[in-house]
Amino acid sequence: MRTVEWVDGRVRIIDQRALPWELVLVEYDDYLDVARAITDMVVRGAPAIGAAAAFGMALAARQFDANNRQELLRYLQEAQALLVKARPTAVNLKWAVNKVMKAGSSEALFRVEDIRNEMLRAAKRIANQDVKANRRMGVYGAALIKDGDTVLHHCNTGALATVDWGTALGVIRTAHQQGKRFHVLLDETRPRLQGARLSGWELTEAGIPFEIIADSAAGHFMRTGKVDLVLVGSDRTAANGDVANKIGTYSLAVLAKENGIPFYAVVPTSTIDMSLPSGEQIPIEERTPDEVRSPYGMALVPDEYPVRNPAFDVTPHRYVTGIVTENGIAYPPYEVNLPRAVEGSLAQELEEEDLPYTHEQLSLFDDLDA
């Protein structure tokens, strides 16, 4: 089962707010509901919201009762604007929505029905490519995990954060599938506890051994030699390798560097924003104080206590050991190697040198493009 999927003319999404207690599926036939589901974090994780928004565009194309091409595209510009605004930090929300819009805007499409079909095809392609990218990142990244390692992980970057498999947690899945024996420390990831609740649920389901820790305990485990590798995702990566990700990522990166522990971000190239020279330009979403005061309705402190709740932070590239993409691992200087990762010229180069897998292994996932 995919986190986000097109089923019988509707968008079906796993409601992540109900986990780990219950696996609840919701179906939408109105793109406005999809936008609200993204804002309310029914679905979260940069790749997952990208796919959800792409399907939201496909829904919108079916909703509008347009008489001609021009009328439909004009309507769809509204849907595009609204979906892009559903959350501000992740770049591939915009990337995915614009990609579907562009596919539908092709001048080769004359009939309204053709536009609708082409936009749905584009959305499905985005979802399938996400799964393929995750599988490839899994193979590249798994080479970083050794038997006996303890891997520290922040937030949720698994199947739930993507269409399937996961980015950083996908690397962990792949290493486990390869038979490696290692341990995972999961930051609980306040305020919404995606690490404890979602990553805890995924690793339980996958049978991968883990322990949850309070976010502030990560430094203690690093300092006392208990962590060998830190793996995180990214909601948006700038051209210079600065990484915007779930709040707390920056702290982990500084602590990892201080303790000589490699720190990798695992990011599909759809989340790399080559238009941004540095992370300083990435907008940081500040979410409702209630997430801190009363997560999931459980009151920790009174409603009147003032709270700041930035949802993301920016990790400057000097703390990032490497960036795992579906086209290989980019190392500094990122100005040189990130463009190669995006273009696809990085993987070959790295494979010929020292990567422990073949083109054939990676091509196993090519059928997912269909």
Q: CA 318, CA 314: separation in Å to the nearest integer?
A: 12
Given the residues 235, 242, 273, 313, the one annotated as active site: 235
Is residue 115 within 8 Å of 123, Cβ to Cβ? no
- Whichever of 212 and 239 has its CB closer to a copy of itself, that residue is 212
- Collect all residues with Cβ–Cβ distance below 8 Å to 221 and sequence separation of at least 6: 150, 152, 185, 213, 227
* Shortest Å distance, C-beta 143 to a copy of itself: 27
* Shortest Å distance, C-beta 65 to a copy of itself: 46
- Whichever of 251 and 281 has its CB closer to a copy of itself, that residue is 251
- Whichever of 74 and 181 has its CB closer to a copy of itself, that residue is 181
Q: Has 235 been annotated as catalytic?
A: yes
Residue 173 CA to chain centroid, in angstroms? Answer: 15
The H or E element spanning position 25 is strand 25-28
Is residue 244 within 8 Å of 274, Cβ to Cβ? no
Cα–Cα separations (whole angstroms), residue 238 to 63, 243, 245, 281 = 35, 7, 11, 9
* Shortest Å distance, C-beta 173 to a copy of itself: 18
Residue 167: burial class (beta carbons within 10 Å; 0-12, 13-18, 19+) = buried
- Whichever of 174 and 249 has its CB closer to a copy of itself, that residue is 249
* Shortest Å distance, C-beta 270 to a copy of itself: 25
* Shortest Å distance, C-beta 123 to a copy of itself: 33
- Site residues for a copy of itself per CB under 8 A: 20-21, 185, 187-191, 193, 196-197, 200, 204, 209-221, 223, 247-248, 250-251, 254-255, 258, 284, 292-293, 295-296, 298, 300-302, 305-310, 313-314
Cα–Cα separations (whole angstroms), residue 219 to 88, 104, 230 = 29, 48, 11
- Whichever of 16 and 189 has its CB closer to a copy of itself, that residue is 189
Give catalytic residues, as residue numbers. 235
